A and B are shown apart, each in its own frame.
Chain A
Amino acid sequence: MAKKIKSSFINMVLTLMIITMVASLALGSIYNLTLEPIRAAKKAAAERAIRLVLPAFDSLSSDTLWVRIPIDSTLADQGNGGQDSLQFFRAYKEGRLAGVAVATFSNQGYDPTQIQIMVGFRPDGVIDSTVVTQQKETPGLGTKMTSPEFNGQFAGRDPANFRLLVKKEGGDVDAITASTISSNAVCDALRRAYRTFESYKNEGGIEE
């Protein structure tokens, strides 16, 4: 074995400097290499979610539309976690608006990780379907929010007469057994999406 380098001050500084420089160089180049694929993967994931929650469509408007979240006393988190608008994706079939997918969220989950949900609205405001795109709830309990059984209850409902609250709080939503907090968080996210969609509609955003 070659002789070990002495632990003198200059040796230590030099070694650490070289190691960190090589490491940052490697990381920087890997980051640049993966930047495009990561962006593409994220876009593909968003598109997959949109296809899941909307009726069949043939084109998606490419521009990003951010709609301000209206002030609403029914939201559990009035500050909206510091985020003031939601992203809308408009889908068209044969030139007519087929539906709007809204990327909504809630910070009221059991885990501090933000819950993200893609909600598909038909032009008349009826929910087509919903899909949870990000959550870190308790495995086996809160994670059931991703199940078709739970999400299925929102499909085809009009939030104007289907109250997006769990039954315990006087709403129409069947909560997940032993996961009231997670169920509430989903309702919170859906209410946020619906109020925002409504205000967008009232401002004339949904026009044929």
Chain B
Amino acid sequence: MNQWKNFSKGFIKDNPVFVLLLGLCPTLAVTSSAINGLGMGLATTFVLLCSNIVVTLIKDFIPNKVRIPSFIVIIASFVTIVELVMQAYSPALFNALGIFIPLIVVNCLVLGRAEGFASKQGFISSVVDGLGMGIGFTFALTLLGAIREMLGNGSIFDVKFTSGDAILLFVLQPGAFIVLGYLIALINKMKKTS
């Protein structure tokens, strides 16, 4: 398998948010600002990478019928590790992301990649897939967060560029759906023309 293709598919062609539509619940909830999107994306990438590695290493020892519970335990452990380490060494980021870190467990992107990819592919492919998907997810979340923050708060990465109020709706939940819808439409158009 071409590893570059495997890595780059996460950006546009198989982007977890815009094309696969995986893990939408945390996506919509956390992207009220660019920095939240970026932090959540990076934390998810770490969990995704670690769980992909472990799953691909032990896939031959797991009986088929209990593979899903096994994957869930592995993913949940990594999420808890991220949470504890972040709380200890980066309390500011932990406060900003708060309840969204435990939510990574229920992000079907992580389980989806473990089940759909890492449990069938070799070690290198799984690492590359985890990285590519994670970066694609981070990119999508940051983009979504940046647009919502720009429209809804008049700032980007907490740097104000307009004074006064902006269109608050975009920071609230409906804004997440609207922006995501338009971005998906845009990506579909780009895919068709290319």
Contacts and interface: CB of A to CB of B under 8 A. Distances in A.
Contacts, number: 81
B63 A138 contact: no
B65 A12 contact: yes
A56 interface: no
Contacts of A27: 77, 80-81
Interface stretch (A13-21, A75-83, A84-92, A118-126): A13-21
B81 A12 contact: no
Contacts of A160: none
B89 A37 contact: yes
Nearest to B63: A7
Nearest to A26: B77
A130 to B, nearest CB: 18
Interface of B: 32-33, 60-66, 69-70, 73-74, 76-77, 80-81, 84-85, 87-89, 91, 95, 98-99, 152-153, 168, 171-172
Contacts of A11: 63
Give 3 closest A-B pairs by Cβ, nearest first. Answer: A37-B88, A140-B171, A34-B88
25 contacts: A1-B60, A4-B64, A5-B61, A6-B63, A7-B63, A7-B66, A8-B63, A12-B66, A15-B62, A16-B66, A16-B73, A19-B70, A19-B73, A23-B73, A23-B77, A26-B81, A31-B84, A34-B87, A38-B84, A41-B89, A45-B91, A113-B99, A136-B99, A139-B171, A139-B172
B91 A140 contact: no
A59 to B, nearest CB: 24
Nearest to A177: B165
Interface of A: 1-8, 11-12, 15-16, 19-20, 23, 26-27, 30-31, 34, 37-38, 41-42, 44-45, 113, 134, 136, 138-141, 178
B98 A15 contact: no
Contacts of A139: 32-33, 171-172
Contact of B70 (A15, A30, A141): A15
Contacts of B88: 34, 37-38, 41
Give the residue among A26, A30, A42, A113 with the most B Cβ atoms within 10 A: A30
Contacts of B62: 5, 15, 19
Main secondary structure of the interface of B (DSSP, over half): helix
A141 B73 CA distance: 38
Nearest to A3: B60
Given A27-B77, A27-B81, A34-B88, A15 B61 contact: yes
A136 B63 CA distance: 42
Given A2-B60, A5-B62, A141 B84 contact: no
Give the residue among B65, B98, B152 with the most A Cβ atoms within 10 A: B65
B171 A7 contact: no
Given A34-B84, A139-B33, A15 B60 contact: no
Given A4-B64, A19-B74, A23-B74, A141 B168 contact: yes
A141 B173 CA distance: 13
Contacts of B61: 5, 15
A140 B89 contact: no
A136 B100 CA distance: 12
Given A23-B73, A27-B80, A38-B88, A7 B172 contact: no
A23 B81 CA distance: 10
A113 B99 CA distance: 10
Given A19-B74, A34-B88, A45-B91, A140 B66 contact: no
